[in-house]
Amino acid sequence: MFASEEVLSIALEDDEKVYIRAIFPQLEAEHLREGDVLSIRHASGEGSRGHIRRLTVPEVDPTVMPDVFETEVQAFLLAEVDPLTAEDRRMWQRLKNTRLIVSKWRF
Q: Which CATH class is domain 2-104?
A: mainly beta
Q: Strands 2-4, 100-104: parallel, antiparallel or unpaired by DSSP?
A: antiparallel
Nearest to 101 by CA among 62, 45, 52: 45
Which pTM does this prediction carry? 0.77
- Which residue spans within 26-99 are E strands per DSSP? 37-42, 47-56, 76-83
Domain boundaries, the chain: 2-104
Q: Which pLDDT belongs to residue 86? A: 93
* 62 and 69 Cβ atoms separated by less than 8 Å: yes
Would you give the DSSP letter of residue 30?
A: G
Per-residue pLDDT tens digits for 12-68: 666 668 899 888 888 888 889 999 999 998 888 899 999 999 998 876 666 655 555
Q: Is 25 helix (H, G, I), strand (E, B) or coil?
A: strand
